[in-house]
Amino acid sequence: MTETAQRLAETPAWLAARTPVGGPHRLALCQPRGSSTVKGAGDQYPVASSTTTSTVNALPAPASTAKNHIQPLPLRTPQLRLQHKVRSQKSSRITSKLCYYSYGLNLKLLLYLSQLWPARQRWRPTDELPAKPFCAIFAAEAGTPSVLQSVKMATRAPNPTGSRKISFNVSEQYDIQDVVGEGAYGVVCSALHKPSGQKVAIKKITPFDHSMFCLRTLREMKLLRYFNHENIISILDIQKPRSYETFTEVYLIQELMETDMHRVIRTQDLSDDHCQYFIYQTLRALKAMHSANVLHRDLKPSNLLLNANCDLKVCDFGLARSAASQEDNSGFMTEYVATRWYRAPEIMLTFKEYTKAIDVWSVGCILAEMLSGKPLFPGKDYHHQLTLILDVLGTPTMEDYYGIKSRRAREYIRSLPFKKKVTFKSMFPKTSDLALDLLEKLLAFNPVKRITVEEALKHPYLEPYHDPEDEPTAAPIPEEFFDFDKNKDNLSKEQLKELIFNEIMR
């Protein structure tokens, strides 16, 4: 028996059950010829017990990501060749019909990434991951101690040499490397799992200063654990705290993706084939969410993670909520601080019901941004946002007008001058008719008339990728799943902390 087979044999049943069937399959869409990429099956990670201290340096973010600040490589016209769909009996992976890009997006991404990573850490398209399945490696290493590591992080101060340290209390099996992102209440670092040589992302969250941050953290943990989908970022594990008394931080160990859609759009032009494939994967993830009666509510380019193979994963479920909830929607916007550029008009016009169509609108805004390289509705405030939408879609028809239940919102619309609809063809003259037709259906003003995710996947624009047998759904989330959201006004920070602790320890 080989070493790998022996380790798999020793893997606990509860852990082996989480291993994807079919092993390390990987979609290779945008790779140069002769390259190969294999992805293993990530799974449980060790639990913390003791600490030591070490320090590593993180690179500061580039001063600008504007296209004229990055010198692109000379690219040839992509040579496309359609191939028949290949289905593995052991895997339900997406199968690509784009067989070969003449470097294309792959080299552009590598160019961008090379400016962020030290030379010794640069990714090469010929690099392969270890052959040992992650589940076998991590099962054999259970119970290893933790290490308190510090990362020097660039400050936002004018002084380019200024820095601060971020401490990560994680298993000593990980070598914390670079800061790859920072939010209002968390920091994401890349880390090296030393036994396997595999890079992962570790998201450190400090949510306990504000109840809203606690709610978002709890939502994200519960939902990412619930979904098991190729196009939704997964939680490989959550670092378990030593005790409730010392519990002040949350550490999510996740797949490491190389960039996001926002950075890609800002640094390069996307071909129509890239737009097709990225929108297809986004809708494929959205189909799983909506089948589970979950609204994402915060779809935008920066929440679509990418790697150089053009794999896409949706992240950031902190604003998600149940679509099946029968509670009053009056509090729907209390936490809604997402970028307004991708918000559906019914959210701002206070329609009485918020449906899955709000996510579909966001997908339409993302598609338009991929086609043009700039946001479609970059509103500066509430009124400007609505003005930009109506400048393109025109004044609502009488049917759509009376679909707005809020009297004040109707009066506001009526006070505006009449506006004629602008054709998308005039806005995107070089875009294919099929892409514009899908865009038109995604950006319908009336949510009732807006195309559904299932209908969008069947649209002729996405025909090269659409495969109903390989677009899985998810079981509807039980009603009690979001009980904490229903009672959020009555939950203290300490009670929310206890809920988060119990979720981690389960």
Annotated domain spans of the chain? 264-470
Contact in structure between 409 and 402 (CB atoms under 8 Å): no
Query: Residue 253: in which H helix or E strand, if any?
Result: strand 250-255
**Token pair for 19:** 């291993």
Q: Which residues are catalytic?
A: 298
Predicted local distance difference test score (pLDDT) of residue 391: 95
Predicted local distance difference test score (pLDDT) of residue 148: 57
* Alpha-carbon gap, residue 277 to 366, rounded angstroms: 13
As to burial, measured by CB atoms within 10 angstroms (0-12 exposed, 13-18 middle, 19+ buried), residue 173 is buried
Angle at 138 between CA 135 and CA 143, to 5 degrees: 145
CA 311 to chain centre: 11
Predicted local distance difference test score (pLDDT) of residue 165: 77
Taken in order 389, 392, 396, 399, the sign of the CA dihedral is: negative
Q: On the CB side of 86, how many CA atoms lie within 13 Å of its CA?
A: 11
**Token pair for 308:** 């150089």
Contact in structure between 370 and 266 (CB atoms under 8 Å): no
* Alpha-carbon gap, residue 430 to 115, rounded angstroms: 31
**Token pair for 422:** 């602008």
* Alpha-carbon gap, residue 212 to 319, rounded angstroms: 10
Specify the pTM. 0.72
The candidate with the shortest Cα–Cα distance to 397, out of 448, 455, 357, 342, is: 448
The candidate with the shortest Cα–Cα distance to 286, out of 452, 466, 436, is: 452
* Alpha-carbon gap, residue 183 to 501, rounded angstroms: 21
State the pairing for strand pair 294-295/250-255: unpaired
Angle at 173 between CA 168 and CA 176, to 5 degrees: 40
* Alpha-carbon gap, residue 271 to 279, rounded angstroms: 12
Give 35-81 pLDDT, tens digit per residue: 333 333 333 333 343 443 334 443 343 333 334 333 332 222 333 32
Predicted local distance difference test score (pLDDT) of residue 351: 58
Query: Residue 218: in which H helix or E strand, if any?
Result: helix 211-226
* Alpha-carbon gap, residue 236 to 224, rounded angstroms: 10
Residues of the chain falling short of pLDDT 50 = 1-105, 107, 109-145, 152-161, 326, 328-335, 337
Predicted local distance difference test score (pLDDT) of residue 71: 32
Give the strand order in the sheet containing 304-306.
Answer: 259-260, 304-306, 312-314
Predicted local distance difference test score (pLDDT) of residue 173: 85
Q: Is 306 helix (H, G, I), strand (E, B) or coil?
A: strand
* Homologous superfamily assigned to 264-470: Transferase(Phosphotransferase) domain 1 (1.10.510.10)
Q: Is 200 helix (H, G, I), strand (E, B) or coil?
A: strand
